[in-house]
Chains A and B, each alone.
Chain A
Amino acid sequence: MKPSEIKDLIDFIDKSNLDEVNIETENFKISARKNATKVVEQVVTHLAAPVIVAQPSAVVAQREIETTPRIETPAAAPVQIGKKLLEIKSPMIGTLYRCPSPDKPNFVNVGDEVKVGQTVCIVEAMKLFNEIESDIAGRIVEIKCENASPVEFDQILFIVEPA
Chain B
Amino acid sequence: MFKKILIANRGEIALRIIRTCREMGIKTVAVYSTADKESLHVRFADEAVCIGPPLSKSSYLNIPNLIAAAEITNADAIHPGYGFLSENAGFSKVCQDYGIKFIGATPEMINAMGDKATAKATMRKAGVPTIPGSDGLLESVKEGIKIANKIKYPVILKATAGGGGRGMRVVNGDDEFEKAWNDAKMESGAAFGNDALYLEKFVEEPKHIEIQIVGDQYGKVCHLSERDCSIQRRHQKLVEETPSPIMTQKLREKMGEAAIKGAKSIRYEGAGTIEFLVDKNGDFYFMEMNTRIQVEHPITEEVTNFDLIKEQIKVAAGIPISGKNYFPEFHAMECRINAEDPANGFRPSPGKITNLNLPGGHGVRVDTHIYAGYTIPSNYDSMIAKLIVTARTREEVIVRMKRALQEFVIEGVKTTIPFHIKLMDDPQFQAGKFTTKFLETFDFSNL
- Which residues of A are at the interface with B, using a C-beta cutoff of 8 A? 48, 58-62, 64, 92-95, 125-126, 128, 150, 152-155
Contact A94 B72 (CB under 8 A): yes
Given A92-B68, A93-B65, A125-B64, A61-B73 contact (CB < 8 Å): yes
Contact A152 B49 (CB under 8 A): yes
Interface residues on B, range: 20 to 34
> With a CB–CB cut-off of 8 A, which chain A residues contact B59?
153
Please classify the interface of chain B as helix (H, G, I), strand (E, B), loop, or mixed, using the class held by over half of its residues: mixed
> With a CB–CB cut-off of 8 A, which chain A residues contact B384?
none
Given A58-B37, A92-B65, A126-B64, A64-B52 contact (CB < 8 Å): no
A-B contacts, 10 of them at CB < 8 A, read: A61-B48, A92-B52, A94-B68, A125-B67, A126-B64, A152-B50, A153-B51, A153-B52, A154-B34, A154-B53
Contact A61 B53 (CB under 8 A): no
Kindly state the separation between the CA atoms of A93 and B51 in the bound complex, as whole angstroms: 6
Q: Which of B34, B48, B50, B68 contacts A125 (CB 8 A)?
A: B68
> With a CB–CB cut-off of 8 A, which chain A residues contact B68?
92-95, 125-126
Kindly state the separation between the CA atoms of A21 and B79 in the bound complex, as whole angstroms: 35
> With a CB–CB cut-off of 8 A, which chain A residues contact B53?
48, 153-154
Q: Which of B49, B52, B67 contacts A61 (CB 8 A)?
A: B49
Which among A60, A153, A154 has the highest number of chain B CB atoms within 10 Å? A153
Given A61-B49, A153-B53, A125-B71 contact (CB < 8 Å): yes
Contact A64 B74 (CB under 8 A): yes
Kindly state the separation between the CA atoms of A153 and B69 in the bound complex, as whole angstroms: 10
Residue of A nearest to B42 (CB): A59
Residue of B nearest to A90 (CB): B50
B47 within 8 A of A: yes
Residue of A nearest to B74 (CB): A64
Q: Which of B47, B50, B71 contacts A155 (CB 8 A)?
A: B50
> With a CB–CB cut-off of 8 A, which chain A residues contact B51?
93, 152-153
Interface residues in B16-54 by Cβ distance below 8 A to A read: 29, 34, 37, 42, 47-53
Residue of A nearest to B45 (CB): A59
Kindly state the separation between the CA atoms of A95 and B73 in the bound complex, as whole angstroms: 11
Contact A62 B73 (CB under 8 A): yes
Kindly state the separation between the CA atoms of A64 and B74 in the bound complex, as whole angstroms: 9
Kindly state the separation between the CA atoms of A61 and B34 in the bound complex, as whole angstroms: 15
Kindly state the separation between the CA atoms of A14 and B37 in the bound complex, as whole angstroms: 40
Q: A153-B51, A154-B34 are in contact. List 9 more A-B contacts (CB 8 A).
A: A93-B51, A93-B69, A94-B68, A94-B71, A95-B68, A125-B67, A150-B72, A153-B65, A154-B50
Kindly state the separation between the CA atoms of A50 and B29 in the bound complex, as whole angstroms: 28
Contact A93 B74 (CB under 8 A): no
> With a CB–CB cut-off of 8 A, which chain B residues contact A154?
34, 50, 53
Q: Which of A62, A93, A126, A128 contacts B50 (CB 8 A)?
A: A93
In the complex, what's the smallest C-beta–C-beta distance from A130 to chain B, in angstroms? 10
Q: Which of B49, B71, B74 contacts A60 (CB 8 A)?
A: B49
> With a CB–CB cut-off of 8 A, which chain B residues contact A94?
68, 71-72
In the complex, what's the smallest C-beta–C-beta distance from B27 to chain A, in angstroms? 10
> With a CB–CB cut-off of 8 A, which chain A residues contact B67?
125-126
Contact B73 A125 (CB under 8 A): no
A-B pairs, top 3 by smallest CB distance, nearest first, are A125-B68, A150-B72, A152-B50
> With a CB–CB cut-off of 8 A, which chain B residues contact A95?
68, 71-72
Contact A59 B65 (CB under 8 A): no
Contact B49 A125 (CB under 8 A): no
Kindly state the separation between the CA atoms of A118 and B29 in the bound complex, as whole angstroms: 34
Residue of A nearest to B72 (CB): A150
Residue of A nearest to B58 (CB): A153
In the complex, what's the smallest C-beta–C-beta distance from A110 to chain B, in angstroms? 25
> With a CB–CB cut-off of 8 A, which chain A residues contact B42?
59
> With a CB–CB cut-off of 8 A, which chain A residues contact B74?
64
> With a CB–CB cut-off of 8 A, which chain B residues contact A60?
49
Kindly state the separation between the CA atoms of A92 and B52 in the bound complex, as whole angstroms: 7
In the complex, what's the smallest C-beta–C-beta distance from A49 to chain B, in angstroms? 12
In the complex, what's the smallest C-beta–C-beta distance from A51 to chain B, in angstroms? 12
Interface mask (B403-437 → A, CB under 8 Å = 1, otherwise 0): 00000000000000000000000000000000000
Interface residues in B53-92 by Cβ distance below 8 A to A read: 53, 59, 64-65, 67-69, 71-74
Kindly state the separation between the CA atoms of A95 and B48 in the bound complex, as whole angstroms: 15
> With a CB–CB cut-off of 8 A, which chain B residues contact A92?
52, 65, 68
Residue of B nearest to A58 (CB): B50
Kindly state the separation between the CA atoms of A92 and B73 in the bound complex, as whole angstroms: 15
Interface residues in B352-375 by Cβ distance below 8 A to A read: none
In the complex, what's the smallest C-beta–C-beta distance from A89 to chain B, in angstroms? 10
Which among B47, B51, B71 has the highest number of chain A CB atoms within 10 Å? B71
> With a CB–CB cut-off of 8 A, which chain B residues contact A93?
49-52, 65, 68-69, 72
Kindly state the separation between the CA atoms of A62 and B47 in the bound complex, as whole angstroms: 7
> With a CB–CB cut-off of 8 A, which chain B residues contact A155?
50
Kindly state the separation between the CA atoms of A46 and B278 in the bound complex, as whole angstroms: 54
> With a CB–CB cut-off of 8 A, which chain A residues contact B49?
59-61, 93, 150, 152
Residue of B nearest to A94 (CB): B68
Given A59-B42, A93-B49, A125-B71, A153-B34 contact (CB < 8 Å): yes
Residue of B nearest to A123 (CB): B68
